[in-house]
Amino acid sequence: NAGVTQTPKFQVLKTGQSMTLQCAQDMNHEYMSWYRQDPGMGLRLIHYSVGAGITDQGEVPNGYNVSRSTTEDFPLRLLSAAPSQTSVYFCASSYTGGYNQPQHFGDGTRLSIL
Amino acid sequence: AQKVTQAQTEISVVEKEDVTLDCVYETRDTTYYLFWYKQPPSGELVFLIRRNSFDEQNEISGRYSWNFQKSTSSFNFTITASQVVDSAVYFCALSLDNNDMRFGAGTRLTVKP
At B13-66, the pLDDT tens digits run 999 999 999 999 999 999 999 999 999 999 999 999 999 999 888 888 899 999
Q: What is the pLDDT of residue A97?
A: 65
The string of pLDDT tens digits covering residues B52-109 is 999 888 888 899 999 999 999 999 999 999 999 999 999 999 999 888 889 999 999 9
CB nearest to A42's CB, from B91, B97, B100: B91
Confidence band for A30, pLDDT divided at 50, 70 and 90: very high
How many Cα atoms are found within 13 Å in the side-chain-facing hemisphere of B27? Answer: 23
What totals of helices (H) and strands (E) does chain B contain, helices first?
Answer: 0, 12
Q: What is the pLDDT of residue B12?
A: 98
Cis check for the bond before A83: say yes or no (omega within 30 of 0).
no
Question: Averaged over A52-67, what is the pLDDT?
Answer: 95
- Contact list in A for residue B50 (CB cut-off 8 A) is 100-102
- Contact list in B for residue A88 (CB cut-off 8 A) is 43
For residue A98, pLDDT beyond 70: no
- The rounded distance, in Å, linking the Cα atoms of B91 and A93 is 17
CB nearest to B104's CB, from A42, A99, A105: A42
Opening angle at CA B21, ends B19 and B27, nearest 5: 160
For residue A45, pLDDT beyond 90: yes
